[in-house]
Structure 1
Amino acid sequence: MAPADDTPAPPAPYGTPEAPRIAVRGEAHLDVDPEIARIGITVTARGRDRRGTLDDLTRRNSAVLDLVKSYGEAVERLETGALTLTPQLTPHGRGERVRAYHGTVHLTADLTDFTALGELTARLADLDLTRVDGPWWSLRPDSPAHREARRQAVHDAVRRAREYAEALGTGLAALVELADIGAEAHAPAPRMRTMAYAAPAEDTEAAPLDLEPQRQQVHAAVNARFTMRPPTL
């Protein structure tokens, strides 16, 4: 005689007359202020002499780093990306004759102080052969906005399920399943401002740029299943 199987039977997928099920989807959409602004910085140098070009690139890169770091806690992150120093050959001629050297350094900076952002962006764009791209607005991965969106999505699922049950003249009995089907920030295509300025002839301070933060759209959705008390039909 086979031993008794104590494994509980799986629940009926569609409920039973004694415990009818309700399956709903809860959603939430929030429109919130951004928390981070990212800018891209490209420093360039060009010259006929390789060593001289590299020295110019090093000097300009140091000037950019010093300027960005001078903003202290307003800058959350500063990173150097790719560095290139490329020889440019004479297009018409025999042999490998180098016409010039072209060097670039790419950096990114994340700022949390948007007042400082406008001033820093203008001062960076005011530097010699320095290009500024951005800003790109975003939320932190652990932003409270994501948690709030998930909370509202759950509440929306409960509200919908309760409305269905009340339409049948009964009420909810228990939660059977709650499934997270994604909660992430969805922003429209970034409104990007790109600047590439040479230093002005006059020795004047660049006026701060007026940059309006782009609102971020946060979406969360859940699938939920409930049992309800048997209705009288």
Structure 2
Amino acid sequence: MTQTPPPHGTPEHPRVAVRGDARLDIDPETARITITVTARGKDRRHTLDDLTRRNHHVLELARSYGQAVEKLETGAFSLTPELTPSGRSEKIRAHHGRVHITAVLNDFTALGEFTTRIADLEMTRVNGPWWGLRPDSPAHAEARRRAVHAAVQRAREYAAALDAHLVALVELADLGAENTAPPTPAAPRGRAAFGGAPAEPAPALDLEPQRQTVYAQVNARFIMSPPKL
């Protein structure tokens, strides 16, 4: 009957603990831009009408790109009165309306044109793009596989240095595999803000995708055969 090695180290079955690391640099899968539609006027209803019209225009333009825009979400909406400087009589000087929209694109060929066309719209601000990977991207699994292989290889090298070999794996601890690209870069590419409609269509921006870095780390503990010291 074969005796199972204990999970802890002993002179007959020493334990070796290692860490496996992996790093992948790959092309992004998505580009996210944020769009802020604004309106300002003395009359509350007219301001709301202008904001509604501009918001509808942005959404229709985004939907015209079909599958290239894989996610389109409306965030915060606000319509705020601006009081006169004195403020005592509650007299309203103007109304300020704002809608925040997020668009995620997976077609980088269409991205430059889409960003420019949105930025050309009146009272509309564009920020981005922020490049990224999907949560279920195969890159994360590949990084984890490479980290495990690195841990096994390192443990084998330690065992070989003692003229021994690995007997069993007793623990494998995932330290995480995540995209480390900053969610809000200090200087995103393609940032634009325009206050009025242009006389003619602006040329599409040439946006170069920013490669993403994926890390994975694991801790692994093995039982090895008795070393020859």
State the TM bucket, normalised to the shorter chain: over 0.9
Shift of 1:18: 1.4
Q: Are residues 1:219 and 2:218 paired? A: no
Partner residue, 2:205: 209
Please, what TM-score do these two structures have when normalized by structure 1?
A: 0.91
The Cα offsets for residues 95-118 of structure 1, whole Å up to 9 and x where unpaired, read as: 010011110110001100011111
- Separation (CA, whole Å) in 2 of partners of 1:138 and 1:177: 32
**What one-letter code is carried by the residue in structure 2 that aligns with 1:88?**
E
Partner residue, 1:68: 62
**What one-letter code is carried by the residue in structure 1 that aligns with 2:115?**
T
Q: 1:114 aligns with which of 108, 112, 118?
A: 108
Q: Are residues 1:173 and 2:170 paired? A: no
Partner residue, 2:141: 147
Contact 2:14/2:223 (<8 A) preserved: yes
Q: How many residues align?
A: 222
What is the aligned-residue RMSD (CA, Å)? 1.5
Partner residue, 1:7: none
Shift of 1:200: 4.9
Q: 2:78 aligns with which of 76, 79, 84?
A: 84
Alignment of 1:1-233 (within 5 A): 11=6, 13=8, 15-92=9-86, 94-188=88-182, 190=185, 191-193=187-189, 194-202=191-199, 204-233=200-229
Shift of 1:201: 4.7
- Separation (CA, whole Å) in 1 of partners of 2:74 and 2:87: 37
Matched residue SS, 1:205: coil
Structure 2, unmatched stretches of 5+, are: none
The Cα offsets for residues 9-68 of structure 1, whole Å up to 9 and x where unpaired, read as: x9453x111111110000001111111111000001101111110100000000000000
Matched residue SS, 1:34: coil
Shift of 1:174: 1.3
Structure 1, unmatched stretches of 5+, are: 1-9
Partner residue, 1:5: none
- Separation (CA, whole Å) in 2 of partners of 1:65 and 1:219: 36
Matched residue SS, 1:16: coil
Q: Name the larger-Rg structure.
A: 1
Shift of 1:85: 0.7
Shift of 1:173: 1.2
Matched residue SS, 1:68: helix
